[in-house]
Amino acid sequence: MRKTIKSITLIVLIFILGVFFISLNKSTDYNTEHLIGNKLNKIKFESLEHKKIFTEEDFKKNNYTLINFWASWCAPCRIEHPILIKLSKEQNLKILGVNFKDKKINALKFLKDLGNPYDYLAKDTSGKESVNYGIYGIPESILIDNKYIIQKKFIGPLNLKDYDDILEVINSL
């Protein structure tokens, strides 16, 4: 009986140490590289300003669409905003802004104060819809083509390198 208890204790201890060791070697980085090249399915966002739902049909005619998840309360969103304003002038790109867990009045004031780079303005007041797109924090952006294939995904505020990367993709037609 004692031998059985010792054996079971040893097996449990080895199992716990094994799980601990495996978890130490596992990467904790938030990496979404695996999403690039995949197709977005069932695009569906509620308009921030109108009683309209944006779906795949709204983006079919665009060569490229940048889906940008942002909020008025997000300090890094203010940092990336000038990049979005510059991108809004590009012919091959349309920008969908998804206002994330924000109040409409604050979002519209943010855009009035800083400028509105968005061709489409949507909302995700609960944050639940954004999770379907691999969004866990903001700002994040996804560049898709007219077949809804993810070309690039950007975590954090867009910067000048990201701007150049986006231009390289959208001007490669």
> Would you name the residues annotated as active-site residues?
74, 77
Angle of CA points 64, 68, 72, to nearest 5°: 150
DSSP per-residue codes, the chain:
-HHHHHHHHHHHHHHHHHHHHHHHHS------GGGTTPBP-S-EEEESSSS-EEEHHHHTT-SEEEEEEE-TT-HHHHHHHHHHHHHTT-TTEEEEEEEES--HHHHHHHHHHH----SEEEEESSSHHHHTTT--SSSEEEEEETT-BEEEEEESS--HHHHHHHHHHHT--
